[in-house]
A and B are shown apart, each in its own frame.
Chain A
Amino acid sequence: MTEVALQAVELVRRIEGVVSHTLVNGIDLAVNKGEFVAITGPSGSGKSSLLYLLGLLDAPSEGEIMICGQPTSKLSETERADVRLTKCGFVFQFHFLLPEFTSLDNVLLPMRAAGRMTEGEMRERGLALLGSLGLGEHANKRPNQLSGGQRQRVAIARALANRPEIIVADEPTGALDTASTEQVFSILRDIADQGQTVVVVTHDPALAARADRRIHIVDGKIAEITGRDGGELVCEMGS
């Protein structure tokens, strides 16, 4: 039986104000362990909002998110931070590395925050991660000494640092050239193939096609779910 890593139940995210705006509107979704899911959709469709909810960066107005079977809607902000630290890894469109720190220090950051390993173990893992992403010789360089692709790979290494169950990536190739895009996507694919769950928001249909599932979002709702072979799995437009 396939194990569910991430599950959203009737997820709603509403921005209250003079004019209320619904970003995510009743989404039900289950992502299996080791699955690579791409979320696509036009600008403003709510795909990033959905991703932030799935990664516990944002809290839903209604509904429930379960990470590895654990409900999260009633967790305090501190408990949500703990779940993010240990079970989620984030990769953003821009690398968002701390500029004063070296690549290695950036990768060590989540491990040091978690404090579950000795300094030696952390450095060993950090160097191994950077090495596996082809950045072994750039471990002591600062972000401004790296190319865009290299920075994004450091960001991926940072996301993997605490061995999270789920990697959440928001347009990780949006600011990269073609070669770097290919490289980053291949890495994310490999991560999923090794058993970690990857959820990626992307505008690039070619890249999305390489995911196990594509979830197309329109107006905060799932419009279409497509399998890797292109077969339509679910069509919920207007449901």
Chain B
Amino acid sequence: MKLLFNIAWTHVSARVRQTLVGMAGVAMGVGFTIMMAGLMQGSQIDFLRQLVDTMPHITVDDERRSVPTQPAEREYAAVQMAEIANVGKRPGIKYPESVMSSLGSWIPGEVAPSVKTTAIIDHGGARIGITLTGIDPRREVHVSKLASQMREGKLDDLSRAPNGILVGEALAEKLGVKTGNTVLLVGGQGIQLNSTVAGLFRSGLKRVDESQIYSLAGTAQVMMGQSGVVNQLRLRLNDPMSAQKVAAQVEAQTGYKSVSWQEANADLLSTFTVRDFIVLTVMGAMLLTSSFATYNIISTITHEKRQDIAIMKSLGMREYAVRRIFIIESIIIGVVGILFGWILGYLLCYGWSKITIFNPLTGTTVPLQIYYSAMHYVVAGGISLLCCAGAAYFPARKATRVHPVDIIRGAS
């Protein structure tokens, strides 16, 4: 192997300019791949973090995924039930405190009750449909980041203001309301309630900030016309990624529809998959393209060294050993290129992280989110090295398959 390395090193070191071009190609490919991976994963993680922070990890609603089996159906197989009406059925989760207590005993996280209804908010002639969520401020801090998302006022202000509500900044801007203003809430059954804006929040998600308001649970119950009702349980888990599994368990235990944050955002998450596929394809293409320079160099060297190849083979060196010389050459180019690529990738990531962009949705200027991971460097380097070895293999195989007699005769 030392012999092969010596010959390979002699070949590449004798062609400084070509070798440097090859190394630069590999370095660029690796560097930009690392940068893209960091940028892509950084933005994705940032988005998911916002999503996970803003929403409860699991929402248990007073709904069921399928119509419950009727007692008559269980008794008589031939009976077919149709057009069953829930006459006088009270909405909400039955015995919510008991359910919460039961869930609280085993779920790895916290659970809080809420009352969810729809309403129209009316202020100064502007009428906007909104989702009103009634909460218990003492429990809410355990299941959402609402307290930290407050821009004006505090969660506790809900209790202090008459029929207090917390409004998203974007919605407040649309309505032209400020903290302390009074707005009119109109419920689905025509119930009207004058409410005071006790504070403003900003979640970072446009659809939340424009259409969600919070009140005390009692206020929401009044709007629904159902005192004491709790129609939603909200769970926050220690490990957000386990939400799907826990949601299934909760649903199996309570019978109520339990939706994990992944299920609630399945369409969004599926776009990430498509985006990942596109970006990975682009990165693969970059690494492959960067190895073209190596292919060119090895092709040139094998062409120039046809006579040497013939002589080495005639002396008794095996074909694969001679082929290995050129693969070692490409690996030398690849390894040095990868090392420079790693440095370039880090510098690019660092540079990009210093760039700030204005988010028109949140109205803030934030730096580009870069995710630094050793795995990016390992994967980019590994793939690049494979591409380099592959790029060398084909010209090397072609060159070493040449019959030495043909070359020797041609030179004579």
Contacting A at CB under 8 A, from B370-412, are 403-405, 408-409, 411-412
B10 touches A85 (CB 8 A): no
Tell which of A93, A94, A158, A171 touches B315, judged by Cβ atoms closer than 8 Å.
A158
Does B315 contact A109, Cβ atoms closer than 8 Å? Answer: yes
Question: Once the chains are docked, how many angstroms separate the CA of A85 from the CA of B2?
Answer: 18
Contacts of A88 in B (CB 8 A): 316
Closest chain B residue to A96 by CB distance? B311
Inter-subunit contact A100/B314 (CB<8 Å): no
20 sample A-B contacts, Cβ–Cβ < 8 Å, listed by A number: A52-B405, A55-B314, A57-B404, A57-B408, A77-B319, A78-B318, A85-B317, A90-B315, A92-B412, A93-B412, A94-B411, A96-B307, A96-B311, A96-B408, A98-B7, A98-B308, A100-B10, A105-B6, A110-B315, A113-B317
Q: Could you say which residues of chain A place their CB within 8 Å of the CB of B308?
A: 98
Which A residues, 75 to 97, have Cβ-Cβ distances below 8 Å to chain B? 77-78, 81-86, 88, 90, 92-94, 96
Cα(A86)–Cα(B308), bound, Å: 19
A180 CB to nearest B CB, Å:
18
Number of interface residues of B (CB under 8 A): 27
Which chain A residues lie closer than 8 Å to B403 at the CB level?
58
Q: Which residues of A contact B405 (CB under 8 A)?
A: 52, 57-58
Chain B residues engaging chain A, CB cutoff 8 angstroms? 2-3, 6-7, 10-11, 14, 307-308, 310-319, 321, 403-405, 408-409, 411-412
C-alpha spacing A112/B310, complex, angstroms: 17
A23 to nearest B CB, angstroms?
A: 11
Q: Are A92 and B315 in contact (CB under 8 A)?
A: no
Q: Provided the pairs A57-B405, A100-B10 are in contact, do residues A113 and B316 lie with their beta carbons within 8 angstroms?
A: yes
Please, which residues of chain B bring their CB within 8 A of the CB of A55?
A: 314
Q: CB distance B316 to A100 under 8 Å? A: no
CA gap between A210 and B2 in the complex, in Å: 42
* A-B pairs under 8 A by CB, number: 69
Contact status of A100 and B14, CB under 8 A, knowing A112-B3, A113-B3: yes
Check B315–A85 contact: CB distance below 8 A. yes
Bound state CA distance, A105 and B317, in angstroms?
15
Residues of B within 8 A of A81 (CB): 313, 316-319
Query: Which B residues touch A171, using CB under 8 A?
Result: 412
The chain A residue with its CB closest to the CB of B311 is A96
For the complex of A and B, list the 5 residue pairs with the smallest distance between their C-beta atoms, beginning with the closest.
A85-B316, A84-B316, A112-B3, A100-B10, A96-B311
- With a 10 A CB-CB cut-off, give which of A90, A100, A162, A171 has the most chain B CB atoms: A100
